[in-house]
Structure 1
Amino acid sequence: MQTKNLNSFLVAARVLNFGEAAKILNYSQSTVSDQIKNLEIELDV
């Protein structure tokens, strides 16, 4: 499990918006989406 994926999840959960989370993290929205998707796959949820 990569900490960057967890960090993206935490920020997205706090702001409830992938686009806003991406701005905060200085990532693209697609990067945040991919990180959350990878986390979901890894956790089988």
Structure 2
Amino acid sequence: MSPKRIDDKARTILRFAFTLFALNRKMIPMEQKKSPTDLKLI
């Protein structure tokens, strides 16, 4: 596999993970949103 294909695959996985993360943040209740560990993940 060429480095470019690996890079494209990694980018796709990162985008997918970030989308899931963003969706999860919107669904998190406000009480949990205030936790400091939540902010460190960004």
Q: What's the TM-score bracket when you normalise by the shorter of the two chains?
A: 0.3 to 0.5
Bigger CA radius of gyration? 2
**TM-score after normalising by structure 1:** 0.38
Relative contact order higher in (CA < 8 Å, ≥ 6 apart):
1
**TM-score after normalising by structure 2:** 0.40
